């Protein structure tokens, strides 16, 4: 029977996202990957392209959303330090999906993970662990697997570290002529005044071209929309300076400043390797589902505050309602990024159209979110369902791609590999 080590990080059940006082939550000994505070500044947004600004489908802001906009900026914060980790329900669902393929050994990626992995000696490790400390945290589990000579699923440490660094990712894409928005990286507070001057005088030139207002800023080493809120949309040099300084101070890492892309947004799930890699049905964003006056961005508020189990945010449509020509262009750009960055087995890639309708890469996530509930807004499972796959088939296919890439035979008691599942894997 194949022994499958299952590496994950479980989100503390007692640590929900909540409003806190910035001054009371700050401590000097917290690592950079733990200092998660953000604020929201209310604005009136421009409508998303093709949307009806006055649509009756717009949602009224929730009580928590209103409280975010009514509190003073220096007091309104949210603890999002565990946003990337998985709930126990997701971990249970993944384990259940893996069981037909072998004996599943849970290996939570905490302090004693290396020793438990060494003792378990699984035939292959199924990795969804996001890590915790530092800019290379997503690479920790694969690197430890490589140290012990153990096969594992997903991308290698180099790709995981590269894709978590938004600036390096965009540099690779730009060098290989894969479209991505022009950008600059701000590493320290003393660079902000020069940044403002160049924006004011329209002399801000970054990697891949000249930058023009409006601009969008974000921490360079975060995932799950941490540090990405509506206030990151900057129309003026003053707003740019304010938000950039805020992110530098609270996230203790460089800040990516990129030209805002005004077009429609899509998420693409990729499954497979080499010439066999394919894009599942494309997920489109419906920004008219956001509360009235929201910025057309799927950020922290939309992902974690406005989207609730009792009132799901109807922001996704899959398959996206686009013509075949645009679908083909999106798929081509998506696969180009997948290959250039060295992604393996599966990844989720975010795309946004520029003013000319050209698909641009926004971000690449080699450890995609995989919430099991069909009612949850989890893009990869949503795309898989649109492709005719169940949740279990998706998880199994991702492991099969990894196993076949490394010539590992999967199987366990009662394992049944149907003709359809075999084709997917």
Distance between CA atoms of residues 346 and 336, nearest Å: 14
Residue 387, both tokens? 């492709």
The C-alpha atoms of residue 397 and residue 366 are separated, in whole angstroms, by 15
Q: Please, which residues bridge with residue 351 across strands?
A: 266, 361
Average pLDDT over residues 197-226: 86
For residue 421, CA distances in Å to 90, 101, 127, 412, 415 come to: 21, 12, 21, 15, 12
**Taking residues 105-134, what's their average pLDDT?**
95
Could you report the per-residue pLDDT of 370-422, keeping only the tens digit for each? 999 887 778 999 999 999 999 999 999 999 999 999 999 998 553 333 323 33
Where is pLDDT greater, at 298 or 405?
Answer: 405
pLDDT band at 250 (very low <50, low <70, confident <90, very high): confident
Mean pLDDT score across all residues of the chain: 82
Task: Measure the CA–CA gap between 255 and 243, rounded to whole angstroms.
Answer: 10
Nearest-5° Cα angle at 6, 137 to 392:
115
Please state the pTM of the whole predicted model.
0.80
Under DSSP, is residue 352 helix (H, G, I), strand (E, B) or coil? strand
Percent residues over pLDDT 90 in the chain: 61
Task: Tell me, rounded to whole angstroms, the distance of Cα 260 from its chain centroid.
Answer: 18
Q: What confidence score (pLDDT) does residue 284 get?
A: 97
Say what the pLDDT of residue 301 is: 76
CA distance 234 to 256: 13
**Region 290-311: what's the mean pLDDT?**
78
Distances (CA, A) of 184 to 59, 171, 188: 34, 10, 12
**All residues at 6 or more sequence positions from 128 whose CB lies less than 8 Å from its CB, including other chains:** 7, 8, 86, 94, 367, 370
Task: Indicate the range of 130-134, 291-295, 342-346, 350-354 predicted with least confidence.
Answer: 291-295
Which residue in 229, 224, 212, 211 sits closest to 170, CA to CA?
211
| Strand 209-210 with 205-206, pairing | antiparallel
Burial class (CB in 10 A: 0-12, 13-18, 19+), 378: buried
- Lookup: tokens for 396: 């199994």
- Top mean pLDDT of 31-35, 81-85, 249-253, 311-315 is at 249-253
Angle CA 351–325–361, to nearest 5? 15
pLDDT of residue 276: 95
Are residues 380 and 313 in contact, defined by beta-carbon separation less than 8 angstroms? no
Token pair of 293, please? 């006056």
Residue 16: the pLDDT is: 52
**Closest to 16 (Cα-Cα) out of 67, 87, 90, 94:** 87
- HEC string for 297-339: CCCHHHHHHHCECCECCCCEECCCCCCHHHHHHHHHHHHHHHH
Q: Please, what are the domains in the chain?
A: 162-167+263-424 (3.30.470.20), 182-260 (3.30.1490.20)
Q: What percent of the chain has pLDDT over 70?
A: 79
Q: How many CB atoms lie within 10 A of CB 219?
A: 23
Q: How far apart are CA 194 and CA 186, in angstroms?
A: 10
CA 187 centroid distance within chain: 22
pLDDT value at residue 163: 96
Give tens-digit pLDDT for 19-69. 344 333 333 333 333 333 333 333 333 434 333 333 333 344 444 333 333
Is it the case that residue 253 has pLDDT exceeding 50?
yes
- Helix segments in 176-321, DSSP class H: 192-200, 237-251, 300
What distance in Å separates the CA atoms of residue 164 and residue 365, rounded to the nearest whole number?
8
């Amino acid at each position: 029977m194949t022994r499958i080590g299952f590496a994950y990080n479980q989100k503390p059940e007692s640590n929900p996202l909540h409003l806190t006082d910035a001054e009371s939550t700050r401590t000097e000994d917290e690592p950079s990957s733990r200092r998660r505070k953000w604020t929201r500044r209310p604005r009136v947004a421009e409508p998303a392209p093709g949307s009806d600004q006055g649509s009756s489908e717009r949602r009224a802001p929730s009580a928590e959303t209103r409280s975010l906009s009514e509190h003073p900026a220096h007091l309104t914060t949210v603890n999002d330090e565990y946003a990337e980790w998985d709930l126990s329900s997701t971990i249970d669902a993944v384990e259940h999906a893996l069981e037909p393929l072998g004996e599943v050994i849970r290996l939570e990626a905490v302090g004693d993970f290396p020793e438990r992995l060494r003792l378990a000696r699984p035939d292959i490790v199924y990795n969804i662990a996001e890590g915790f400390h530092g800019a290379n945290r997503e690479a920790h589990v694969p690197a430890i697997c490589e140290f012990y000579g153990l096969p594992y699923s997903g991308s290698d440490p180099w790709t995981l570290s590269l894709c978590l660094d938004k600036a390096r990712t965009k540099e690779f894409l730009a060098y290989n002529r894969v479209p991505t928005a022009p950008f600059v990286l701000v590493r320290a507070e003393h660079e902000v005044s020069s940044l403002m001057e160049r924006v004011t005088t329209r002399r801000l030139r970054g990697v891949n071209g000249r930058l023009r207002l409006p601009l969008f800023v974000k921490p360079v080493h975060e995932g799950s929309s941490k540090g990405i809120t509506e206030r990151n949309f900057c129309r003026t040099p003053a707003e740019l300076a304010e938000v950039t300084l805020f992110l530098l101070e609270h996230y203790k890492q460089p800040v990516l400043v990129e030209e805002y892309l005004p077009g429609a947004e899509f998420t693409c799930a990729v499954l497979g390797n080499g010439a066999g890699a394919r894009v599942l049905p494309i997920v489109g964003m419906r920004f008219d589902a956001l509360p009235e006056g929201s910025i057309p961005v799927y950020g922290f508020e939309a992902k974690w505050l406005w989207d609730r189990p009792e009132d799901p945010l109807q922001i996704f449509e899959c398959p996206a309602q686009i013509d075949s020509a645009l679908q083909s262009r999106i798929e081509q750009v998506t696969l180009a990024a997948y290959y250039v960055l060295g992604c393996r087995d599966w990844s989720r890639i975010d795309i946004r159209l520029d003013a000319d309708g050209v698909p641009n890469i926004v971000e690449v996530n080699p450890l995609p979110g995989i919430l099991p509930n069909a009612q949850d807004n989890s893009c990869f499972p949503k795309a898989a369902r649109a492709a005719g796959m169940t949740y279990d088939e998706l998880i199994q296919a991702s492991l099969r791609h990894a196993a076949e890439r490394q010539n590992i035979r999967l199987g366990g008691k009662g394992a049944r590999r149907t003709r359809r599942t075999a084709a997917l894997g």
